[in-house]
Amino acid sequence: YRQVTNSSWARFLFKQRGYNKLGLLAHDILNETPVVAEAIRRLPKEVQDVRNYRILRAVQCSITHTILPQNEWTKFDDDVA
């Protein structure tokens, strides 16, 4: 019997959610409540632009029923969650 660590569980959930295959980060998929909208507004313009690009690219993948090439997937260690 092997005890499941938080890290292995987090990696499992990361892979199961699938947003990484679209190049998204965890905070890119938050529901845009007034608090989230204000946080996004306070981000530097460059960070907002990169975030918008990731979201638009994910929308395009969704429309075409495709995923990004594996070398463009978000890596577990690069995600912010």
52 is a domain residue: yes
Which residues neighbour 51 within 8 Å (Cβ) at sequence distance 6 or greater? 25, 28, 40, 43
Looking at residues 64-76, what average pLDDT do you find?
A: 96
Overall domain count for the chain:
1
Is 24 exposed, middle or buried, given 0-12, 13-18 or 19+ CB atoms closer than 10 A? buried
What's the pLDDT at 1? 38
Per the structure block, which two tokens stand in for 38? 């204000």
Task: State the Cα–Cα distance between residues 37 and 1, nearest whole angstrom.
Answer: 45
- Please report which confidence band the pLDDT of residue 9 belongs to, taking 50, 70 and 90 as the band edges: confident
Question: Residue 30's domain spans which residues?
Answer: 6-78
Q: Does 1 reside within a domain?
A: no
Asked if residue 71 belongs to a domain, the reply is: yes
Residue 81's pLDDT band (cuts 50, 70, 90) = low
In a domain, 47, yes or no: yes
Percentage of residues of the chain with pLDDT beyond 70: 91
Q: Give the model's pLDDT for residue 6.
A: 60
**CATH label of the domain that carries residue 52:** 1.10.1090.10
> 74: exposed, middle or buried (C-beta count within 10 Å: 0-12, 13-18, 19+)?
buried
